[in-house]
Amino acid sequence: MAGQGDEQLREARLRGKVAIVTGGGRGLGRAVAERLSKEGAAVCIMSLHHESAQAAAAEIARKFGATIAVGGDVAVEEDMHACVERAVSMFGRLDIMVNNAGTIAVDPVTDTSVEEWDRVITTNLRGTFLGCREAARQMIRQGDGGRILNCSSGAGRRGSGLVAAYTASKFGIIGLTQSLAVELAKHRITVNAYCPGHVTSTPMWDYLAERFSQLNGVTPADVKKAVAHEAPLDRAGTPEEIAGLVAYLASDEAAFVTGESVLIDGGLVRF
């Protein structure tokens, strides 16, 4: 059984590190930002919704330590560059980049407009690319390695109906992750993806439950209940469990892990 000393060591394993978490104002991103801060990192939260980012940053700073908020769109080149510049100007460096921000659409492919397709691909895939690029540039300048972590999904490992744009973007993130892991290895920058399964307590899943209820004629609560029982572990995941995986991949303990897309889904997708 882990003792108090082990717990303190774990919570301090990111001390002295600086992290950016995109989409960190709520949901999975908020849990990741809080966990990284709890483990000792200074954290910059980037969010399209600046108010939620500010509220999250203020609460995390009160509980754990230095946390700031930056408003911006991950898919806008200038916004992503400005976010990295702000984090470096405030904290002096960048060690961990968590490209967590994302969006989704639920429609049959025959009803999916080009605009809706582009919206999802632009936010999820271009936004992740820009976050990777800007972080890599800064980490290479620093010269002492780093961690880049990209949010894919179980949908990035196995396709399913009604979410074609989202699935394509999440498969793309895994391909991007694998390519950059090879390219950036010489700089001691690891690049990995985390692939959550059903985490039904998030705002994204509130939207999904409502949308699937409209399409299938059931209640949103029934949708969440059904998906929670799909995995062998017979429950939904929690944001805190996803954050625990991200914290590990961000730490020195994962120095020999790169190019991976790690499923955390209760056994739902098995390969």
> Residue 120: which CATH number?
3.40.50.720
The predicted-structure confidence for 144-176, as pLDDT tens digits, reads as follows 999 999 999 999 999 999 999 999 999 999 999
Q: Are 96 and 136 in contact (CB under 8 A)?
A: no
pLDDT band at 271 (very low <50, low <70, confident <90, very high): confident
Count of domains forming the chain: 2
In this structure, the answer to whether residues 27 and 159 fall within a common structural domain is: yes
**How far is Cα 222 from Cα 238, in angstroms, rounded to an integer?**
18
In this structure, the answer to whether residues 90 and 177 fall within a common structural domain is: yes
In this structure, the answer to whether residues 94 and 176 fall within a common structural domain is: yes
In this structure, the answer to whether residues 149 and 212 fall within a common structural domain is: no
Give the list of residues 6+ apart from residue 199 with CB closer than 8 angstroms, or none.
28, 205, 236, 237, 238, 239, 241, 242
Q: Is residue 271 part of a domain?
A: no
Mean pLDDT of 29-39: 98
In this structure, the answer to whether residues 134 and 187 fall within a common structural domain is: yes
In this structure, the answer to whether residues 17 and 100 fall within a common structural domain is: yes
Give all strands (DSSP E) within the chain, no chain letters. 18-22, 42-47, 67-71, 96-99, 146-151, 189-196, 261-264
In this structure, the answer to whether residues 36 and 161 fall within a common structural domain is: yes
Q: Is residue 217 part of a domain?
A: yes
pTM: 0.96
- Percentage of the chain modeled with pLDDT above 70: 96
The rounded Cα 24 to chain-centroid distance in angstroms is 8
In this structure, the answer to whether residues 59 and 96 fall within a common structural domain is: yes
Q: Is residue 5 part of a domain?
A: no
Give the structural domain span for 127.
Answer: 13-197+238-262
Active site residues: 166, 170
